[in-house]
Amino acid sequence: MILYRLVKSNFAHDAWSGQGAMLYGGRWNHKGTPAVYTSTSISLATLEILVHINQDRLLSQFSLLSIDINDKYVMKLSLDHLPTDWQQDPAPTSTMDIGTIWLNNQDSLALLIPSCIVPYEYNAIINPLHPQFQKVLHTVKPLDFSVDPRLA
């Protein structure tokens, strides 16, 4: 499974450390727990960034990376297993608890989770502390990234 990550270009060197999520927390992790947020498509990765920035032209400051993870190291969390408040903004404690427990248990290298924006599409959390993580880093590839000027 190929997963995509859009990061600010000046942080691309640190894109797979999980430090940003560890410092600030996220929808699927509490502060203090490293996690790497990715998407199953480039368009979803772009959309996930667009909902968080105020100026679309800022997308030009992002770099696109991909990583290839064997499906046997991926778990999927389906919609029917999510708490009723999972799409709230800001992110509820319930989803942070789910993700943090998964990260701490190291049940899999990646966890597919429905996108809050498009629930029938999936994002993925990668656990940078999982024993298999270092073995997949060699599959990371930088990709050309540009968006339609109508978004800028």
Domain residue limits at 34: 2-151
Judge whether 40 and 4 are in contact, CB under 8 Å.
Answer: yes
Nearest to 85 by CA among 103, 75, 98, 76: 98
Q: pLDDT of 63-98, one tens digit each?
A: 999 999 999 999 999 999 999 999 999 999 999 999
Rg of the chain's alpha carbons, rounded to an integer? 15
- Answering whether pTM is above 0.75, one says yes
What domain count does the chain have? 1
> What number is the average pLDDT over the span 112-122?
96
Average pLDDT over the chain, rounded to whole? 94
